[in-house]
Amino acid sequence: MNDRDFATAFERCEIAGDDFHHRDHVRLAWTYLRDLPLLDALTRFTTSLKRFAAHNGADGLYHETITWAYLLLIHERMERNPAGDFDSFAATNPDLFAWKPSILDQYYDQETLDSPLARRTFVMPTKATYETLR
């Protein structure tokens, strides 16, 4: 299935919850970022994820900080090194596809990510800043 069809199927909740994994989250974010300005992609991504979670009886799984942080990292990588397709993007950014341990471990302590605040609203990184990771 091509990227746009994948996004459409996701938005229509035609993909089973058990079939939607971390790589699929990254693919969906990449697709939105390829097709939309950053803030529009962020809005569409968060809205789509919340609707999908609710449809699959998993309202409590949505995590705002993780969602925003990944989308922003994906956006930065796309701007630094434009890839023609998703597979090329994935090949040049394997760290974005590891779930445990996650790239977010460089930016956040687990206590912050486990907090109710981080789940409901975006929280700035607690471990590192852009300057310290350069």
Strand, helix or coil for residue 121: coil
Place of tokens 């991504």: 45
Q: Can you say whether the dihedral through the CA atoms of 116, 118, 121, 126 is positive or negative?
A: positive
Over the stretch 10-21, which tens digit does the pLDDT of each residue have?
999 999 988 999
Q: What number is the average pLDDT over the span 43-71?
A: 94
Strand, helix or coil for residue 53: helix
- Hey, what are 131's tokens? 């300057």
Q: What local confidence, expressed as pLDDT, does residue 22 receive?
A: 94
SS3 of 1-27: the string is: CCHHHHHHHHHCCCCCHHHCCHHHHHH
| pTM score | 0.90
CA angle centred on 80, ends 23 and 40, rounded to 5°: 65
Q: What local confidence, expressed as pLDDT, does residue 92 receive?
A: 95
